[in-house]
Amino acid sequence: MTPVLRSDGLTKRYGRRPALTEATLSIPAGRIVGLVGPNGAGKSTLLNLTSGIIAPTAGTIEVLGARPAASATQLAKVAFVAQDTPVYAGLSVADHLRLGARLNPKWDAALARRRVEQVGLDPAQKAGRLSGGQRAQLALTLAAAKRPQLLIFDEPVAALDPLARRAFLQSLMEFVAELEVTVILSSHLLADLERVCDHLVVLAGSRVQLVGDVEDLLDVHKRVIGARGELDALPPGIEVIQADHTTRQSTLVVRDTTGVLAQLVPAADVERIDLEDMVLAYLTRAARVTAGAPIRGYAEQPLEAQR
């Protein structure tokens, strides 16, 4: 099956400042993809490149098998909701639906009306008077009624309170099930992503740090605890992502793609980690590399020295 997004060496620079560097990705269809990274990591840049709002400085990107925004047909396949879920403040909810119908060849008017009713939006209400949560629901409704194959959201829930966030994500999951659409959404809220995403892209310092199906990634990442010095010489195939030490004990987050860890370390000393800990391990490592102190061997990075 054609990947929803395929990029090779995808790079965007503003002057000399890198916003995205050599991103090579292949994102399968039918996933809810979480795009994570700290401020300035390049998330919006990747989403803007995916929707065709900006063009790459170098490298290539294909979305649903074609160049982003290359034609009207291609534009109709992708719905993009930018940061802060922008709407037309002076237009009513009903005006937005009418506009959507005029602008989108595959507009699903029944779906739009049903959603507006379900989430309790007043069709006569001006969009400028909607709460953040209501605005996000309107933007989601407009994007979904376009009947795209790919739905892109840039930090859709950042400004929402926990209840509105939950309602939004619930709606999103319902749409995905109903419309068979691929979703890419960026967020800083790892707990939210853990609930809804089944594929993950971690960006930091303009580079892709980690990518893959969440379950596969969680299967190969482990937390290992051992006496200080005991885990000094791990064989190739086990990559140390993060290492913390006390005087007596070492705690590592490792990536073990070979399964060799189980032969080296007692099962009781190996723990499964959650998505949040896995992502934070990569972000911590990327922050160290940016600060000029790459992890070479974890024993070179005692906790006292890291502080």
What minimum distance in Å lies between the beta carbon of 132 and ligand ATP?
17
Q: Which residues contact 189 (CB under 8 A, 6 or more apart)?
A: 157, 158, 165
What minimum distance in Å lies between the beta carbon of 160 and ligand ATP?
16
* Rounded distance between C-alpha atoms, residue 13 and residue 258, angstroms: 37
Q: Which two tokens stand for residue 133?
A: 């949560």
Candidates 14, 55, 230, 258; binder of ligand ATP (CB under 6 A) is 14
Question: Are the beta carbons of 39 and 95 closer than 8 angstroms?
Answer: no
Query: Which burial class, exposed, middle or buried, applies to 166 when counting CB atoms under 10 A from its CB (0-12, 13-18, 19+)?
Result: middle
CB closer to ligand ATP, 53 vs 179? 53
* Rounded distance between C-alpha atoms, residue 137 and residue 144, angstroms: 10
What minimum distance in Å lies between the beta carbon of 209 and ligand ATP?
12
Question: Are the beta carbons of 173 and 196 closer than 8 angstroms?
Answer: yes
CB closer to ligand ATP, 48 vs 171? 48
CB closer to ligand ATP, 45 vs 51? 45
* Rounded distance between C-alpha atoms, residue 120 and residue 104, angstroms: 24
CB closer to ligand ATP, 53 vs 94? 53
* Rounded distance between C-alpha atoms, residue 171 and residue 32, angstroms: 13
Question: Residues 39-58 vs ligand ATP: string with x where CB under 6 A?
Answer: xxxxxxx-------------
What minimum distance in Å lies between the beta carbon of 14 and ligand ATP?
3
- When asked if residue 286 is in the footprint of ligand ATP (CB under 6 A), the reply is no
Site for ligand ATP in 17-36 (CB under 6 A): 17, 19
Site for ligand ATP in 153-172 (CB under 6 A): none
CB closer to ligand ATP, 20 vs 112? 20
What minimum distance in Å lies between the beta carbon of 45 and ligand ATP?
3
* Number of residues located near ligand ATP, criterion CB under 6 A: 11
Strand partners, 149: none
What minimum distance in Å lies between the beta carbon of 55 and ligand ATP?
12
Q: Which two tokens stand for residue 14?
A: 């503003």
CB closer to ligand ATP, 154 vs 256? 154
**Region near ligand ATP per CB under 6 A, out of 12-20, 106-114, 123-131, 270-278:** 12-20
CA distances from residue 61 to 9, 18, 38, 68, 124 in whole angstroms, order as listed: 9, 17, 23, 7, 41
CB closer to ligand ATP, 39 vs 263? 39
* Rounded distance between C-alpha atoms, residue 107 and residue 194, angstroms: 31
Handedness of CA 48, 163, 192, 178 (dihedral sign): negative
Task: Please report, as ranges, the residues that interact with ligand ATP according to CB under 6 A.
Answer: 14, 17, 19, 37, 39-45
